[in-house]
Amino acid sequence: MEVEDATGRHLLPRSLAAWIPAGTRPRNSLHRIRSVSVLLRAGWVPEAGHGVRIVRVSPLMRAMFAEAGRWPLDSPLDSTGRAFFAAFARLCREWIANSAPLCLPTTTDVALGKALALVSADPAGCTWAGAIRAAGLSERTLRRRCQAHLGMGWEEYRRRARLLASLEPLTESDRSIALVAAQVGFESQSAYARAFRQFTGQTPQAFRQAVRR
């Protein structure tokens, strides 16, 4: 699943959830998955922020999502429901504070967008030469537009795209970390682990274990 807002494109493997504040108008893309949404009244979660956040789904959160279905949107809350969602809102504040930085910046620049689409379609196999051809720009112009529109170079954007592409096989399969690294385009497990830790603050193994707890 992908959620895109003004701050960028957020990728959600099945083991993660998105916090979407009231008033945000994101674009969602679902890829062969079912999703569940829980709606809370605006103001129930203090300091909720203004942009989409990606949060790790703990066993408690998963259980509360399942339990929330007891109260359909078109039915008034009873006393148990009010207590349940008040507790859910308080926990959301804690979950949001520990959100994961799983986001890629977006652009309205058409030529640059063509280069980024190449990365999205094939993060493991895309090349700088291919990005230049897709954008129809000179190497110097494409580098300049990456910095101006994304706040980072193309190589860093591709590295982030590869890390995000690794999340689903890392958390939803038992593939070795070395195999996950190779499949998304990293030259070695150590290079992948180093980039993953810089991006998320955790090693791939620690991230996998935290998601599965």
Question: Are 55 and 119 members of one domain?
Answer: no
45 Cα distance to chain centroid: 21
Q: What would the mean pLDDT of 26-43 be, rounded to a whole number? A: 67
Q: What is the mean pLDDT of the chain?
A: 84
CATH number at residue 200: 1.10.10.60
Over the stretch 168-199, which tens digit does the pLDDT of each residue have?
A: 889 888 999 999 999 999 999 999 999 999 88
Residues 6 and 98 in one domain: yes
**77/98 Cα distance (integer angstroms):** 29
Domain containing residue 131: 108-212
Write the pLDDT tens digit of every residue in 82-126: 999 989 988 888 888 777 667 778 788 999 999 999 998 999 999
The pLDDT tens digits for 54-85 are 777 777 888 888 898 888 888 888 999 999 99
Same domain, 95 and 121: no
Of 103, 128, 163, the last residue of a domain is 103
Asked if residue 74 and residue 6 are part of one domain, the reply reads yes
Same domain, yes or no: 67 and 93: yes
Query: What would the mean pLDDT of 9-30 be, rounded to a whole number?
Result: 66
Q: Is the pLDDT of residue 151 over 60?
A: yes
Q: Considering 103, 138, 167, which residue would you say is the last residue of a domain?
A: 103
Question: Are 139 and 70 within one domain?
Answer: no
In this structure, are 112 and 203 located in the same domain?
Answer: yes
Can you give the pLDDT at residue 172?
Answer: 81
DSSP character for 112?
H
For tokens 């101006």, the residue is 148
Who wins on pLDDT, 38 or 118? Answer: 118
Quote the number of domains for the chain.
Answer: 2
DSSP assignment of 138-180 equals -HHHHHHHHHHHHSS-HHHHHHHHHHHHHHHHHHHS---HHHH
| Same domain assignment for residues 28 and 117 | no
Q: Which of 103, 118, 136 is the last residue of a domain?
A: 103
Helices (H) and strands (E) in the chain, counts: 9, 6
Q: Any idea which residue has 């008034």 for tokens? A: 76
- Do 76 and 159 fall within a single domain? no
